[in-house]
Amino acid sequence: MTEHWNAIRKHWQLLGSPLRPPAQVVEAYERELELAQSHVVMLGVTPELAGLGATMIAVDESADMIAGIWPGDTDMRKAVRGDWFDLPFPGASIDALIGDGCLSAIGDAEARRALFLAIASVLKADGRAGIRLYASPETPDDPKDVRALALGGGVSTFHELKWRVAMTAISGVPDYIIPVTRIFEQFEAIFPDRVELSARTGWDLPVIGTIDVYRNSSAIYSFAPADAVIGEAHAFFDNVGVVPTGTYGLAERCPLLVLRSPRR
């Protein structure tokens, strides 16, 4: 996974919404979790979220991601190397925790439950957490429909298209997991002519070329439906729900999972 994320880091400036959270998402975290006066822990080093909270500690396992993506430590924020499943904080000590898309990056339901346990363990009794999901629809899209939508101008960014393509390839797959190499293969099958895709959408070829990061990667993503994730989280939190994060492209599949009242 480290090699995969280092490759993404090198293409970071070419990435966009919904992979990188737009302003509407930042506002949703603040609105739903009331972060202004809180000490916040963030899973990952998402730069768009680095200004949230009164103070922040971001946790990432990759020193390269911290060096390449994190906007820099200040008196109010810092990034540290650490394990999301064994967070470097005392139990019941954290006001709020956030993470953007992190549940899709860690794998299957067992991994998600382990992460929910780790989060519940470090939150205060009145603490809360928010994690933006990349959630597949209950009925997967037909690849032909995704192709027609993109070539007809109905997809806002190439990065939205990547997730739409990924979500066509998980029908019948246990726990909605997919090797990212399969996302690459599905994209190549649906859009064999990148020049045509660029001409029809206006997307630059280097942006479309970010899909090549997936070509030989060993990483595995998951795109579980929101209802499945909510059910898993209820074992660790008394109060679980999802709220919208805006009107950007694919926002309807990127709700904010809000977790309150951790169970001990």
pLDDT mean for each 10 residues of the chain (264 residues)? 74 92 98 96 98 98 93 98 97 97 95 98 98 94 97 98 95 85 97 98 97 94 96 98 98 98 93
CA distance 102 to 80: 17
What pLDDT does 171 receive? 72
What pLDDT does 2 receive? 62
What pLDDT does 1 receive? 56
What pLDDT does 215 receive? 94
List all residues 6 or more positions away from 261 whose beta carbon is below 8 Å from its beta carbon: 125, 126, 237, 238, 239
Pick among 3.90.1150.10, 1.10.150.120, 3.40.50.150, 3.40.220.10: CATH of 2-135+224-262: 3.40.50.150
The pTM score is 0.95
What pLDDT does 5 receive? 74
What pLDDT does 213 receive? 94
By the 8 A CB rule, do 81 and 94 touch?
no
Count of residues in the chain: 264
| Residue 71 DSSP code | -
Within the chain, all domains assigned CATH 3.40.50.150 are found at: 2-135+224-262
- Measure Cα distances from 145 to 132, 150, 194, 223, 230 in Å: 26, 9, 18, 19, 28
